[in-house]
Each structure stands twice: as structure tokens, then as C-alpha cells.
Structure 1
């Protein structure tokens, strides 16, 4: 089975940029949220709305109703209403939390850097991935997962070919799929 890193399209014409989720632990929101709560997301730079946006610092995914509905029935994800502050969006938006973390990086085929034990900026992340030049997942370790985060690099969201096809069929805007 093929897998893809899900990213927002940085070249989307006149795109908006979303900032942090207010009054919440943004690191935690990438994986867990309260589905009954309404969150507030700040607009960093106004522009055209996208069906998928992810804030770079924390990996929090903000999705449209169309995106959410395309993933109906997929396990391992949760949604909560997101009020966009500083913009009046045409539709409804949601925070998407992706709970599953899978240890699936094929380190032989990938190119990456890891945080060092005495890293001057993030010593707490020693041994975790700092970034990837080339990410390759081992599909045998991803069996049974259709959407997940990479263990040790939670800002990355990876989807199966089935999720990719659902999103493409729904015509979502602002999303890119990079084969991993």
C-alpha cells in the first residue's frame, strides 16, 4: 500500500495562514482534543480559505467541513469546531486531531537529522527527528492505519492511498500529497 505525507499547499493562490489555537496547548492538540469544545484559531495572514491548513510550529490541522466529511468512518481521528478569529470564513472549520503515532520510518532509505543529547535548543527531544530531507515509511509497519503521525516527528501527518483518494474525490483545496 502507498502512503503520503499530507501537507498544505504553500503555493495556493492568495492563501491564508493560520496561527496558534488560542487558550490551548497546541502541541497536545495535534493528537488529542475535546470534541465538545469550540476552539479559536487566529488568522496570521488573511487570504483565501483552504480545506486543509496546518500550522507549522505545532502541526495542528485545521480542516473544512468538506474535508471532515470526506474522512467519515476513518478511525484514529477526532474533530472539534474551530472558530476562525480575524476572518469570517464561508463555511465551518474544525481542528483535526490524529491520535495514532506509528514508528514506521525506514531509516535506511530516509534522509533526516535527529536532535542530539545536548541540543542547545531542544535537549528534551534527544533522539527524535529534527527534520527530513527524504522521508520513507515502511508500509509493513503501517498496516491497518489510514491516517497517523510519525512517532518521534508528530508534526507530520501521513495518510493511506484510500484517504488520499477520498480527499481528491471530494475536491478539497489547499492539500498536497507527497509520496513517502
Structure 2
């Protein structure tokens, strides 16, 4: 099975007209990660009402958008949600959860949702990847000592990838999808996404 890095395509030239969403509060982010942990443990509790999200830079809405924040939770359109929930593979349908959000602009023609990804895998192929880790004397984030700081080339070990979509255990801003998930997104022409292979055939920096 091949795997791919799923990113917001905000820096691609074709996405220059897009909107950019604002930052979630630390309190909301903490609730989101607690909710994902509850999902992993089989407890569907922790979030109730829709979450308000600001638009930092006005522009065209996209199907896939990162929210600014510590771990950049993705905000997706109703079309993205329905694409995932209508997938033939039950693993894809059950791999993520969606929570409604309210976008604070006068007119939004679509519904949007936070896409919560409970899957975590320690799946970096450290022998083949190139990376730097946080250290205990890091001037900004010594609390992240031992976690990945940057990848000059990310390569996934498929034997350690246990989900069709997941975050890396020690680099949770990075979202990994498998080949069927990638095909699903591309075949439905979902906007706002940037997908790069992490199998060693090309250099993927993140």
C-alpha cells in the first residue's frame, strides 16, 4: 500500500484566490484533541454546539482548509464530508468524524465541518527519512523534545501504518492518507488539497 501526505493547498498558484481561515482558541483546540482521544477510546462525547471560526483573509471557499493553530485541524465542506461518507470502503467512512462549524462571513453557501482524525501511527521510516527532532534545549518548544520538528524528506513505513487516514504519532500536524483515500479525493475533484507521496519515490518536505 502506498501513502501520501495530505496538506492544505493554500500555497499553490492555482489556490491564490482562496480564503484563509483564522486561529482557534487554545481552549477549543484542547477540546478538539480531547474529543479525538474520546473517539479513539470509543467514547463519543466532548463536543456539543457548532464551533465559530473566523476568516483571516477573505476569498473563495475551498473544500479542504486548514485552520491556523498548533495542530491545524482541517475544515471541510459538505461536499468533502459527503464524499468521504459515501466511500465504498467502510474503513474510509469510519476513519474520521465531522463536527459542524459556523464561518463568520455574511454569506456562506455551503455547510462546513471540522474533520476530526482519531487515528495515530508511529509510522515514520527513520532509516530512510531525513528529519530534525526537537531537543530539550530548544529555545521555543523544549516541551516537544523527542518529537519531529521538520522533515527534509518524509517516508512512511507501510508496515506501521494502521489506518487509511492518520496523524503521525510524534508529528501530529502531518496527515497521512493511503492510496484508496487519495483516489477518492482526486476522483471527486475536491478543491483546496495538496497531495504528495511519502513512499521514497520523491522528496517530500514538511
Question: TM-score under structure 1 normalisation?
Answer: 0.91
Pick which of 71-80 and 157-166 moved more.
71-80
1:140 and 1:163, CA in 2 relative to 1: closer, same or farther beyond 3 A?
same
In the TM superposition, what are the counterparts of 1:142-157 in structure 2 within 5 Å?
Answer: 142-143=161-162, 145-157=163-175
Q: 1:88 deviation in Å? A: 2.5
Mapped to 2, the partners of 1:25 and 1:175 lie a distance apart of: 24
Judge conservation of contact 2:20–2:56 (CA < 8 Å) in 1: yes
Give the structure 1 partner of residue 183 of structure 2: 165
Gapped regions of structure 2 (runs ≥ 5): 37-45, 199-206
Give the structure 1 partner of residue 65 of structure 2: 53
Gapped regions of structure 1 (runs ≥ 5): none
Question: TM-score under structure 2 normalisation?
Answer: 0.80
3-state SS in 1 of match to 2:75 = strand
1:31 and 1:114, CA in 2 relative to 1: closer, same or farther beyond 3 A?
farther
CA-based RMSD of the aligned residues comes to: 1.9
More helix by share: 2
In the TM superposition, what are the counterparts of 1:1-150 in structure 2 within 5 Å?
Answer: 1-9=1-9, 10-11=11-12, 12-22=15-25, 24-26=27-29, 29=32, 32=35, 34=46, 36-57=48-69, 58-72=71-85, 73=90, 74=92, 75-86=94-105, 88-143=107-162, 145-150=163-168
Larger Rg: 2
Judge conservation of contact 1:59–1:156 (CA < 8 Å) in 2: no
